[in-house]
Amino acid sequence: MHGPASSGWLLVALCAVTGAYCLARMRSGAEGQRSAAGGEALMGFGMAAMAVPTAVYTPPAWAWPLYAAVFGAAGVHALWAARAGAHHLHHLVGAAAMVYMALVMAGSPAHGHGRGGSDVPLLTGALLLYFAGYVLVAGVRLVPVAAVAGGGGAAGWGDRPELARVCRLSMGIAMVAMLLTL
């Protein structure tokens, strides 16, 4: 992505840390939690790789189609997994957004809106609206409610739902930032 190098590195750090925590969540005892965490780890690390400032590293031309293929496969997996839960539809939209950004970057040597046409800004705008709405809803879900009395034993790092929500929120914010740089 293009833009100021300092904000690019902050985005790389945010996405990499989020991806690393999602890897830790994959050790959870709940199968559904592990599956979702795997997709979110892939998304976090993929976003971190795409956010590296171009002043430092410009990926080779073959990298963008590879990103598109990997996230296309992740989208197909999310579509298949959506049979079990609607949460995977968000993963499908995220994977589609990553494919879209990879295709825009592949078609634009200056890493911007080089393809022209009115459909590119429209799709970018629709994805921005979706992820901005997602960020707002995810932020509201983090507002604490009255604590449940006798909340059980201590949960492991991978089984803390509030931390999973924070990861999803941070990836949503990062997605908005990445879409704004297109």
* Predicted pLDDT at 155: 57
What would the two tokens of residue 147 be? 């604590």
Residue 119 has a CB neighbour count (10 Å cut-off) of: 9
* Predicted pLDDT at 156: 59
* Predicted pLDDT at 150: 47
* Predicted pLDDT at 153: 52
* Predicted pLDDT at 39: 87
Summarised one tens digit per residue, pLDDT across range 87-132 is 789 999 999 999 999 999 898 765 444 444 555 579 999 999 999 9
List the chain residues with pLDDT less than 50.
111-116, 148-150
* Predicted pLDDT at 135: 96
* Predicted pLDDT at 120: 55
Closest by CA position to 1, among listed 124, 91, 122: 124
- For 139-147, which contacts have Cβ atoms below 8 Å and span 24 or more sequence positions? 139/169, 141/165, 142/166, 142/169
* Predicted pLDDT at 7: 86
